[in-house]
Chains A and B, each alone.
Chain A
Amino acid sequence: MSGIWLLDRHVALFSGSLRTLLRRESDRRRCADSPYAWLFQPYMGEELVALTCHVTPTVSSPVISLAAIVFNQQRILTSQAFVLSLGAAGQADNASLRRHRLLCQAGEITPPSSGNLSALVEFIGNRPVVGWQLDQRIGALNALLSARLNFELPNAQVDVAKLHQRQLRRVHPEVDAPSSFAQALACWQVPAMGATHSVLGEATASALLYMRLQRVMAEAV
């Protein structure tokens, strides 16, 4: 019994590089007595969280729009989605910011604080996080988290882009050009759900893509 516990508990640690592995373990030890300790517990449920981050660098500090949605194999709880835009308040309304707003539709930009960041990590909880090109996009969020809360997202992470590439190679061994999110959605006939112009849409679509790929993999076995 204890062996399985240990394995489950550390299975999350085997994903990612050695650096993140070590980092996560030290975070866990540091947070052992903080209210965030439960986030480092292994997750035993069925749910996952689809996470999308959009980062637009501006003159002062980058603006991050993110959306997180809880889903399981059947339902995507869009009604309880967590949508947030983080950035320095009172920024000049320049072109890149306007473009960011158009792309993300994530509402008012609020300055990052330990309050809204802890709301985010508590929303995500210890559930696995799913997203398109997650390891590249999550960097800015992790930087904010470690500055404010002293740890990075400890959750197991699933990169749908990698899943997609792997599955694509199984079907067409000669394909190796990386494809865009829109191409991947079209490839697996997943409806785009407005992925091109809102973070929430993109998170929904990546959850759907994950569900679809899970099914494709289950059929292939």
Chain B
Amino acid sequence: MVDVDLSQLPFTLLDDEGRDHIRRGIDLAYFDRDEIILETGQVGEFVFLIHKGEVAEIDASLPSSTSRIGHYTPGDIFGAISILNGKSRYRFKAEQECLCYLLPKALFQQLCSRYPTFSDFFRQSLTHKARLLTEKRAEGGVAMAGFMLAKVSECMREPLLVAASTDIASAVKQLNDSHADSLLVDTQGTLGMVTKTDLLNGLVLGSCDVTSPLDEIAHFNLVTVEPDQYLFEVLVLMTRHKVARVVVMENSVLSGVVELTDVLSYFSSRSFVVTLQVEQATSLEALAAASQRTPELVKALMTQGVKLRFAMDLLAALNGRIMSKAWEFTVGEGYRQHSCMMVMGSEGRGEQILKTDQDNGLILADDVQWPDLSADMKKLTNTLVQLGYPPCPGNIMVSNAEWVGTVSQWKASIAKWARERDGDSLMKLAIMLDAHAVAGNPSLLESVREELFARCSDDELLLSYFARTALRFSTPLTLFGSLKKPQHGIDIKKGGIFPIVHGVRTMALERRIKATSTLDRLDALASDGRLDRRFADDLGEALSLFAELRLKQQLDALEVESGQGVDQQAQAASRANRVVVQTLSSLERDLLREALHIVKDFKQRLSHRYHLEYS
């Protein structure tokens, strides 16, 4: 029997006997460099398992620049689909000298008929190939199933119960105050419901005026459910009774209301629910509860294949609202117009999807008098910690006096940093460049940013120093342009995300672009003419790919780490940046390699533009 490694998918779908069959039935074949292994339209006779070498899949009908549609490396399988389809749709060519195991057609078909899961694997990868990566995520049926199994109790609102004698005017006021659109009316033990439509109809078409009691327009034939019923049952009930709200009764005691919009947004992405919770929060606890639901929201968005850029925008908006709520809870009304809270780093760029840490600072107007400033800021930082934003290890927080200052103090420090140009100053300049106002008076930040551009944008020497950091980490590609594959994975943050973010930041500084998000900056640079539109788009796509890969790992880590110690969490966080190439599918691997090539190209452009060749 041949000693071949069958411990990978799809062979793990077989039992020992099936694997022994393979070991007994395979041959070895050698292919020279550039030799065509399987031609387009050729009848598939074998399944190829690569032992050594690399194989390219080529669509000969496409122009040569885009014709390479797949890339296979040791351990990968090809040719199975040609057997299932009868003949090969594409051309397979050896890119290097190749050694492949050949699994004959007859044996393969025999295995397929005997092991349905094995056969499914290939049929599934047929569809998987046809779709693109983003669409593939939609097949994450597991997460969707989770939503289908949601219970009523997870999605109900607090009931708003008023007495039957309440007049319409105060009912409307109550509705507005609590961001709701229906009220429950209590009339001697029986419950009735008044919706905004009922109010409208009563006032305009009916004979009511603002002082009429509610029970004149209330409906008393309510649909009720139990809190442990499934949410989709509620959806069915609503459809059947043509209503948009049901009342939740637990042992004939009122416990909540479920609205159609809630159910629908729960099934779609829950974004509405979280946003609503943030807006409705009147206490810190309620806000923290809403804030804790964001990872769940991210997961839902990713499951549905929402493009990362839009997910980022939504999350940035949501985080901004949470922060500004926290700000409103802690900072007195009088100071709000004379100060500006800014977030920096990934949060400032709007690229922080999961809460990693807080980077924030405060700008004060020059003439403000704020005696208990430091106490207030400490309180703000602690509030944010409670809301699930861990403290920054670099202490870039409003509780640190260094990151709180008046406009003129900030301008002075920027001038100092631009003059000194040492590592620390450059880092602080980079942090300030990404600053984004979330609460208070944004014009204060604008004036600081103007100063930053005035000091730095024309200083070629400073720009060159500034850009150099982008080249600090090497791109994880081998000399021959294929992916490096260390066992512990490649660091996607250092190798991919950081060079793009920092390089784009440098260019934005040079061109005085005010946008803070990298993707927006790329757009601006392209319309500015500084970057070729196509290249800018490529860079944006590459960044999204890296961010997505990282996000996937972060979400996995989140699931693992809940309930573990603090150091394990820190370890998991650092591991989240590492992508183990061996675990990716060949399509993902291909995309990753292309993306890293774009990064490499970008670095070369940077070193050419900012004269970094010899530094």
Q: State whether A79 touches B3 (Cβ < 8 A).
A: no
| A16 contacts B by Cβ under 8 Å | no
* Cα–Cα distance between A200 and B29 once the two chains are bound (Å): 16
Taking a contact as CB atoms under 8 Å apart, the answer to whether B99 and A77 are in contact is no
B145 within 8 A of partner (CB): no
Residues of B within 8 A of A77 (CB): 27
Q: Say yes or no for B19: interface residue by CB 8 A criterion.
A: no
B22 and chain A: residue at smallest CB distance: A79
The yes or no answer to A76 lying at the interface (CB within 8 A) is yes
| Contact in complex: A74, B1 (CB < 8 Å) | no
Cross-interface CB contact of A191 among B2, B31, B32, B52, cutoff 8 Å? B52
Instruction: Given A75-B102, A191-B51, A191-B99, verify A198-B26 contact (CB < 8 Å).
Output: no
A76 B27 Cβ-Cβ under 8 A: yes
CB distance from B573 to the nearest CB of A (A): 39
Give residues 1-59 of B contacting A (CB, 8 Å): 1-3, 24-32, 51-52
Category for how many chain A residues contact B: 10 to 19
Known contacts A191-B51, A191-B52, A191-B99; A74/B29 CB under 8 A = yes
The answer for the CA separation of A78 and B25 in the assembled complex, in Å, is: 8
User: Is A78's CB under 8 angstroms from B28's CB?
Assistant: yes
A194 within 8 A of B: yes
Given contacts A76-B27, A79-B27, contact A208 B99 (CB under 8 A): yes
Q: Which applies to chain B's interface (DSSP): helix, strand, loop or mixed?
A: strand
Which B residues are in CB contact (< 8 Å) with A204? 2, 28
On whether A75 and B3 interact (CB within 8 A), knowing A191-B52, A191-B99, A208-B99, the answer reads: no
A191 CA to B52 CA in the complex, in Å? 8
Cβ of B25 and Cβ of A79 under 8 Å apart? yes
Hey, what's the 0/1 contact readout for A184-198 against B, CB within 8 Å counting as 1? 000000010110011
Residues of A within 8 A of B102 (CB): 75
Within 8 A of A (CB), among B70-106: 99, 102, 104
Give the complex CA separation of A198 and B1 in angstroms: 9
> In the complex, what distance in Å separates the CA atom of A208 from the CA atom of B27?
13
Does A121 lie at the interface of the complex (its beta carbon under 8 Å from any beta carbon of B)?
A: no
Give complex CA distance A77, B30 in Å.
11
Interchain CB contact under 8 A, A79 and B99: no
Residues on A lying within 8 angstroms of B by beta carbon are 73-79, 81, 191, 193-194, 197-198, 200-201, 204, 208, 211, 215
Could you list 26 A-B pairs, sorted by A, with CB under 8 Å? A74-B30, A75-B28, A75-B29, A75-B30, A75-B102, A76-B27, A76-B29, A78-B2, A78-B26, A79-B2, A79-B24, A79-B25, A79-B27, A191-B52, A191-B99, A193-B3, A197-B3, A198-B3, A200-B1, A200-B2, A200-B3, A201-B2, A204-B28, A208-B28, A211-B30, A215-B32
Given contact pairs A76-B29, A78-B28, enumerate 7 new A-B contacts (beta carbons under 8 Å): A74-B31, A75-B28, A76-B30, A78-B26, A79-B27, A79-B104, A191-B51
Contact residues of B with A, CB < 8 Å? 1-3, 24-32, 51-52, 99, 102, 104
